[in-house]
Structure 1
């Protein structure tokens, strides 16, 4: 099954627009991914994301992987650039994107 990047990008820009006036100038962006398979390759995904500059953290209770980048300039284009990069990596390990958030630095 192919991933709908166009819809994902539209959702990202729409989400950003909802809080743009309150967004910080710079922040760490956290992208969340959840596994599609019980035996997902968490270690492989973390290694691949880290190779692209992301910091990673597992939330075993929620069964999510956080991929963090930044601090970076907060714009919808910046958020999307890193989101697309992380999503492309995650999909190869059978993880699905589950949103993003900002951590003000």
Structure 2
């Protein structure tokens, strides 16, 4: 069972650290990173599932990126999109590994 409570707390803490002392934009593209648990992961399947829900995807064979936005840059909105993406990728044996604002 995935621990969404801890993941949410991490997201809010990351937001607090990212926004400390800097002005965050009101909207931005947010990139969520996921790592594959197995080497024979269904990359095409997970990317298709994410794209069907509005994410743009990229992978380098190790890390999967799911991009969305521009969306409102606040912890609740980021968490909402992160939770949705996590729910999609977990059945494909991918695990959340953070997020960042796109350049």
- For normalisation by structure 2, the TM-score amounts to 0.93
- Give, in whole Å, the separation in 2 of the partners of 1:24 and 1:9: 21
CA RMSD of aligned residues (A): 1.0
Q: Which residue of 1 aligns with 2:69?
A: 70
Runs of at least 5 residues in structure 2 that lack an aligned partner in the other structure = none
- Give, in whole Å, the separation in 2 of the partners of 1:83 and 1:98: 11
What secondary structure is seen at the aligned counterpart in 2 of 1:77? helix
Runs of at least 5 residues in structure 1 that lack an aligned partner in the other structure = none
- Give, in whole Å, the separation in 1 of the partners of 2:5 and 2:53: 22
What secondary structure is seen at the aligned counterpart in 2 of 1:23? coil
Deviation at 1:18, TM superposition (A): 1.4
- Runs of 4+ residues deviating >3 angstroms: none
- For normalisation by structure 1, the TM-score amounts to 0.92
Q: How many residues align?
A: 101
